Structure 1
Amino acid sequence: MVNIAFFVFAAILLASAVRVITAKNPVHSVLFLILAFFSAAALFVLIGAEFVAMILVIVYVGAVAVLFLFVVMMLDINFQELRQGFLRYLPVGLVVGAILIVELGFLAATQLVGPIEAAGSASAIPPASELTNTQAIGHILYTDYVYAFQASGLILLVAMIGAIVLTLRSRKGVRRQQIGQQLDRKRDEVVALRKVPTRGGV
């Protein structure tokens, strides 16, 4: 049963990955990409890496959804036409949803039988009662691969700073905050005391 589930998930993953780059409609490409992520997460669950599977679903599926939202906003898509064409995308959405449900069913059935064991790795992996999957990943990540982990963090920091610098443009008519001028202001320039008569208002 486990072997059948592995080949099913792997075949769906390969097919959806091919459809991501061959589909002409970007909406279909994103749907197939989400399907590929779910299939890869199912493969991780089969080998006992539940933490990696959840990170794959939460981070990548969430990031793809946010990225797709940004792309839609940047392309200035007419939402009225998009709502009118909902029925065109409904069959593809139903197919992807049905495949996801079947995958979840396979996954639940294989967990009832028992998780697959990697060949030759039984001696290297401690029992689950002694060390959880998350603890094992954290131990390896912050001991054996700590320098690679820190280097990847620095690369992401440089990429974030580069993206900010590239998108930061000075345009005419846009007022920007001047911290130095705000700190150099005197009290008389920004505060005005007025004597308001009783029941007179401002």
Structure 2
Amino acid sequence: MDTTTALFYVFSAVLLFSGFRVITARSPVHAALFLVLAFFSASCVWMLLHAEFLAISLVLVYVGAVMVLFLFVVMMLDINLDLLRQGFWKHFPVAGLVGVIIALEMAWVLQRGFNVPDPKPMPGAETVPNTKLLGIEIYTDYLYPVQLAAVLLLVAMIAAVALTLRRRKDVRGQNPSEQVKAKKADRLRIVKMDAVRELPSQPAAETTAPAADAAKGKA
């Protein structure tokens, strides 16, 4: 057994163990960290298969972005695991049956995938980088599947945005479009007023007459 084969078995064992711990860990944070370990092990296996571009993409995209988002969401939500585990054994037979069916389907598909004829070597493939060969295969032989996957990802992105755009009555928010349309005349009105207002002066006879009438009434 050479070094490459030994490393393949080591990384494969770590990948299987971390994948098993993802679904059996009691803490969601630990499950996410085991998933990160599974991604690293899978990228190491791809490096042994001389698929450097896929290995680097797996580390950058999933480990560097997706798993950080998973950890952020899990730690922010503060999920109550006791409520999630209620009724686990009640639904375990149905879930086990579905898992066995999916495993058999994956085994059937993978078995058919191994029985493929040897591909014809591309002329000059020894001097072409691995990433360029992958791009040539994707955009020539697998162009329609790539376009279909792009459409599905676009639909999923639009659906995610539509699901999050829900109006809540208990949250106050600002409308940036209305703030941009605001003008000074709509928010402030300037009124010119005199600083001091003079009272009109009354004659002396008019001011003493009511007092004389009041004195006569008392008499």
TM-score band (shorter)?
Answer: 0.5 to 0.7
1:73 aligned residue = 76
> What SS does structure 1 have at the residue aligned with 2:166?
coil
User: 4+ runs of 1 displaced by more than 6 Å?
Assistant: 191-194
* Structure 1 residue 133 displacement after superposition: 1.1
User: TM-score if structure 2 supplies the norm length?
Assistant: 0.58
1:174 aligned residue = 172
* Structure 1 residue 52 displacement after superposition: 0.3
Out of 99, 112, 133, the residue aligned to residue 136 of structure 1 is: 133
1:97 aligned residue = none
CA separation of 1:31 and 1:170: change in aligned 2, threshold 3 A: closer
CA separation of 1:182 and 1:65: change in aligned 2, threshold 3 A: closer
* Structure 1 residue 135 displacement after superposition: 0.8
> Hey, what's the Cα distance between the residues in 1 that align with 2:123 and 2:17?
32
Aligned residues: 152
Identity %: 41
> What SS does structure 1 have at the residue aligned with 2:50?
coil
1:162 aligned residue = 159
* Structure 1 residue 182 displacement after superposition: 5.6
User: TM-score if structure 1 supplies the norm length?
Assistant: 0.63
CA contact (8 A) 2:28 2:74 kept: no
> What SS does structure 2 have at the residue aligned with 1:174?
coil
> Hey, what's the Cα distance between the residues in 1 that align with 2:124 and 2:15?
30
> Hey, what's the Cα distance between the residues in 2 that align with 1:48 and 1:27?
32
RMSD: 3.2
**What is the CA deviation profile of residues 177-197 of structure 1, one whole-angstrom value per residue up to 9, with x for unaligned ones?**
2747965x6773357689xxx
Amino acid aligned to 1:19:
R
Structure 2: gaps spanning 5 or more residues: 81-117, 192-219
> What SS does structure 2 have at the residue aligned with 1:151?
helix
**What is the CA deviation profile of residues 136-183 of structure 1, one whole-angstrom value per residue up to 9, with x for unaligned ones?**
111112222222212212211211211222221222362442747965
* Structure 1 residue 6 displacement after superposition: 1.0
Amino acid aligned to 2:10:
V
2:121 aligned residue = 123
Amino acid aligned to 1:61:
V
RCO higher in 1 or 2 (8 Å CA, sep ≥ 6)? 1
Counterparts of residues 49-128 of structure 1 (less than 5 Å): 49-62=51-64, 63-75=66-78, 123=121, 126-128=124-126
**What is the CA deviation profile of residues 104-146 of structure 1, one whole-angstrom value per residue up to 9, with x for unaligned ones?**
xxxxxxxxxxxxxxxx5683585442x1111111111222222
Amino acid aligned to 1:30:
A
> Hey, what's the Cα distance between the residues in 1 that align with 2:43 and 2:183?
60
> What SS does structure 2 have at the residue aligned with 1:170?
coil
CA separation of 1:126 and 1:190: change in aligned 2, threshold 3 A: farther
> Hey, what's the Cα distance between the residues in 2 that align with 1:74 and 1:66?
12
> Hey, what's the Cα distance between the residues in 2 that align with 1:74 and 1:48?
40
Q: Which has the larger radius of gyration?
A: 2
1:198 aligned residue = none
CA separation of 1:186 and 1:60: change in aligned 2, threshold 3 A: closer
CA separation of 1:12 and 1:174: change in aligned 2, threshold 3 A: same
1:151 aligned residue = 148
Amino acid aligned to 2:52:
E
Structure 1: gaps spanning 5 or more residues: 78-119, 195-202
Amino acid aligned to 2:19:
A
